[in-house]
Amino acid sequence: MKTRVALLAICGLFLTAVPAMAATPTIRGTVGPGDTIGVSVKPKKGGTYRLAIRDSADEHNFRLRGPGVNVATSVGGTGTKTFTVRLRPGKTYRFVCDPHSDEMRGSFTVRG
């Protein structure tokens, strides 16, 4: 009986840990205040990511574009918007403020 209870406890711990291990990683992007744009982390491997954008300036937006991805926040609004994106290994993704693309831009390449 004690062995069965211990086994059930171990299984319960494993089942509660599985969702944490499978959590979708988050990339945080920012645009504004001022003429700033960036991402917190440049992904090291391909896969599905949550892209959380904090827009702090209503004259800007944040667009991420690359193979299979073209998502953007709205110009004229502020706040936080979240997208789910699938990034491919070995591919380059570019982020930009559409109205100010000459000066507000960046990129990253996803490794293996």
pLDDT digits (tens, 9 = 90+) for 39-85: 998 898 999 999 999 999 999 999 999 999 999 999 988 999 999 99
Instruction: Name the pLDDT band for 7 (thresholds 50, 70, 90).
Output: very low
SS3 of 30, please?
Answer: strand
24-109 folds as: Immunoglobulin-like (2.60.40)
- Predicted TM-score (pTM) of the model is 0.79
Mean pLDDT, residues 21-49: 92
What is the rounded average pLDDT of the residues 105-109?
97
